[in-house]
Structure 1
Amino acid sequence: MMQSFLAPFQYPFMLEAMGVGALVAAACALLSCYIVLKGWSLLGDAISHAVLPGVVIASALGLPIAIGAFAAGMACALGAGFVQSHSRVKEDAALGVVFTGMFAAGIVMLAFLRTDAHITHILFGNILGIEPEDFWQTLAVGGATLLVLLVKGRDLTLFCFDPTHARGIGLNIAALRYLFLALLSAAIVAGVQAVGVILVVALLITPGCIGYLLCNRFGPMQLIAVAAAVFANLAGILLSYHLNISPAGAIVVVLSLVFAVTLVAAPEHGLLASRRARRRAAAE
Structure 2
Amino acid sequence: MIEFFTEPWQHVFMQRAFLVVLMSGVVCGVIGSHVALRGMAFIGDAVAHAVFPGIAIAFVLQTSLVVGGVVAGLITALAIAVVSQNRRLKEDTVIGVFFAAAFGLGIVVMSTAPGYGGSLESFLFGSVLGISDRDVVTVAVAGAALLLISGALHKEFVTVGLDRETARSVGLPIFWLDMALYAMVTIAIVISIQAVGNILVLALLITPAACARLLTDRIGVMMLIAPAIGAVSGLTGLYLSYAFNLAAGGLIVLTATAVFVTCWVFAPRHGLLSHRRVTATEAVPVRP
- Identify the TM-score tier after normalising by the shorter chain: over 0.9
Q: Note the C-alpha offset of 1:47.
A: 0.4
Partner of 1:183: helix, strand, or coil?
helix
- Stretch of structure 1 that moved more, 65-74 or 129-138: 129-138
Partner of 2:233: helix, strand, or coil?
helix
Answering whether residue 123 of structure 2 is matched by residue 125 of structure 1, we say no
Aligned equivalent of 1:112: 112
- The one-letter code of the counterpart of 2:106 is G
Query: How many correspondences in the alignment?
Result: 284
Measure the CA separation in 1 of the matches of 2:6 and 2:135: 26
- Stretch of structure 1 that moved more, 263-272 or 173-182: 173-182
User: 1:87 and 1:164, CA in 2 relative to 1: closer, same or farther beyond 3 A?
Assistant: closer
TM-score for both structures, normalised by structure 1: 0.94
- Assess if the C-alpha contact under 8 Å between 1:211 and 1:221 holds in 2: yes
Q: How big is each residue's C-alpha offset from its partner over 1:133-185, in whole Å with a ceiling of 9 and x where there is no partner?
A: 33322222222112211222222222322344444555433322221111111
Partner of 2:95: helix, strand, or coil?
helix
- The one-letter code of the counterpart of 1:108 is V
Answering whether residue 161 of structure 2 is matched by residue 160 of structure 1, we say yes
Measure the CA separation in 2 of the matches of 1:206 and 1:34: 12
Question: Which runs of structure 2 are paired with 1:50-65 in the superposition (5 Å)?
Answer: 50-65=50-65
Question: Which runs of structure 2 are paired with 1:34-49 in the superposition (5 Å)?
Answer: 34-49=34-49
- The one-letter code of the counterpart of 1:261 is T
Q: Note the C-alpha offset of 1:114.
A: 4.5
Measure the CA separation in 2 of the matches of 1:168 and 1:252: 40
Unpaired segments of 5 or more residues in structure 2? none
Answering whether residue 204 of structure 2 is matched by residue 219 of structure 1, we say no
- Stretch of structure 1 that moved more, 166-175 or 5-14: 166-175
Measure the CA separation in 2 of the matches of 1:150 and 1:275: 37
- The one-letter code of the counterpart of 1:33 is S
- The one-letter code of the counterpart of 1:73 is G
Measure the CA separation in 1 of the matches of 2:22 and 2:142: 13
- Assess if the C-alpha contact under 8 Å between 1:26 and 1:146 holds in 2: no
User: 1:86 and 1:167, CA in 2 relative to 1: closer, same or farther beyond 3 A?
Assistant: closer
TM-score for both structures, normalised by structure 2: 0.92
Q: Note the C-alpha offset of 1:266.
A: 0.6
Partner of 2:197: helix, strand, or coil?
helix
- The one-letter code of the counterpart of 1:280 is T
Aligned equivalent of 1:9: 9
Measure the CA separation in 1 of the matches of 2:23 and 2:191: 9
Aligned equivalent of 2:173: 172
Unpaired segments of 5 or more residues in structure 1? none
Measure the CA separation in 2 of the matches of 1:150 and 1:127: 28
- Assess if the C-alpha contact under 8 Å between 1:28 and 1:204 holds in 2: yes
Measure the CA separation in 1 of the matches of 2:61 and 2:208: 35
Measure the CA separation in 2 of the matches of 1:87 and 1:4: 57
- Assess if the C-alpha contact under 8 Å between 2:16 and 2:132 holds in 1: no
Answering whether residue 224 of structure 2 is matched by residue 255 of structure 1, we say no
- Stretch of structure 1 that moved more, 199-208 or 104-113: 104-113
